[in-house]
Amino acid sequence: MRTVEDYLLHLKSKGFLFREDAVGFIYFGQQYTNSTDEIANTAIEITLMAQKGFDGSFYISLLETFASNKIASRKAAWKLVEKMELLAV
């Protein structure tokens, strides 16, 4: 799994631009919730899909939800998101 830094660079290469404060917020959220790179990257991906852009409060809420549900993998995170119906399918 790639690091958060690598994932952000990958997104940048695809045209997603994050302001400096958003990048800081991403790292803050990861540390605040003690999330792995895999979970933080998944939360970034889901946030971008659900909000059509980066929304810091949605991202933090998602990380907190993953932490409180003891989500430890990308697959488990996606299962929870589907169960909660966070994304229109």
Instruction: Express each pLDDT in 9-57 by its tens digit.
Output: 999 999 999 999 999 999 999 999 999 999 999 999 999 999 999 999 9
Count of alpha carbons within 13 angstroms of residue 70, beta-carbon side: 0
Reported pTM: 0.93
